[in-house]
Amino acid sequence: MGKIAFVFSGQGDQYSGMGKELTEKYPVAAEIYKMCDSIRLGTSEQCFNGTEDELKETKNTQPCLFAMELSAASVLIDKGIHPDAVAGFSLGEVVAATVCGMFDNETGFRLVCKRGELMQSEAEKFDTSMAAVVKLTSEQVSEVCGKYSDVYPVNFNCPGQVTVSGLSSQMPAFFADVKAAGGRAIPLKVKGAFHSPFMNEAANAFGEELEKTDIKNGKVTLYSNMTAEPYTDDVVGLLSKQICSPVQWEKIIRNMIDNGIDTFIEIGPGRTLTNMIKKIDTEVTALTVTEYLAEVE
């Protein structure tokens, strides 16, 4: 019999109203939102009624997505559906670390609030942005980035899709070079050059925050954004440095499959990871949490 992985999404799929239906239908989800509101007043209100611009602010996006994702995972676990492994894309890795037991729920939420604040603060120091590049190989994207002093390949998502971060002033010329190479660059709904050297100070500050945190041994295998391998004992290093390092998502999924995972449940408000996984391997099952719940209920 195959194994199940919970994979937690990152920024970009957020929308006003996310999680509301979960809280109305499942008491365990409502409890998670109640906990989040007790620590960060107005979190549920932002999730359910926040404007697009409000939810695009990193200091808001990250806690709101954490609340939605942890509540959805809690629903699955409450129904007896437990993962054999977990991974999370960027901020989703903090949710994954919480679900696997490295942090209690309150600690995980406090950490993601701090992470969002630090990353937003760092992003505001520079005029930067991100874009998804499609129709080119990872090597081609890296080669085009190499022409620029401040554009970096940062998320290796799936075959034919790499996300880049960089100075906004260099992006128009970069987009033109991508087009000339036969690709297409699509701007992302985030404010900042995440997973690049622009985030070095945020990563260092988050590491200091983690040093003060009670970190437990995870009960489920957690895969690292940085290494694409299961976590080692260096939780502080892996979880802080991923802020300024590329996300090796395609390698993570391939390693999970090699280790027996054949069903992936995307926990988040969209289907970005589900679509990526289907491009990485057409044989495995990849479903959103909404689709999975519809199948088991």
Q: Is residue 168 annotated as a catalytic residue, yes or no?
A: no
Answer CATH for 128-187 from 3.90.1150.10, 3.40.50.970, 1.10.10.10, 3.30.70.250: 3.30.70.250
Q: Which part of the chain has CATH 3.40.366.10?
A: 3-124+196-296
Q: Which part of the chain has CATH 3.30.70.250?
A: 128-187
Q: What is the pLDDT along the chain (297 residues), one digit of tens a residue?
A: 589 999 999 998 999 999 999 999 999 999 999 999 999 999 999 999 999 999 999 999 999 999 999 999 999 999 999 999 999 999 999 999 999 999 999 999 999 999 999 999 999 999 999 999 999 999 999 999 999 999 999 999 999 999 999 999 999 999 999 999 999 999 987 778 999 999 999 999 999 999 999 999 999 999 999 999 999 999 999 999 999 999 999 999 999 999 999 999 999 999 999 999 999 999 999 999 999 999 888
From the list 90, 196, 224, 240, the catalytic residue is: 90
Minimal CA–CA distance to 78: which of 28, 32, 23, 35?
Answer: 28
Q: In the block, which residue shows the tokens 């991508």? A: 178
Count each helix (H run) and each strand (E run) in the chain, helices first: 14, 9
Are 170 and 147 within 8 A, CB to CB? no
Q: Is 131 exposed, middle or buried (0-12, 13-18, 19+ CB in 10 A)?
A: buried
Q: Would you state the structure tokens that stand for residue 68, as one six-digit string?
A: 């939605």
Minimal CA–CA distance to 249: which of 140, 138, 120, 136?
Answer: 138
How far apart are alpha carbons 153 and 214 in whole angstroms?
33
Superfamily of domain 3-124+196-296: Malonyl-Coenzyme A Acyl Carrier Protein, domain 2 (3.40.366.10)
Q: Is residue 90 annotated as a catalytic residue, yes or no?
A: yes
How far apart are alpha carbons 80 and 74 in whole angstroms?
10
Look up the pTM and report it. Answer: 0.96
From the list 44, 195, 224, 240, the catalytic residue is: 195
Q: Would you state the structure tokens that stand for residue 155, as one six-digit string?
A: 């998320």
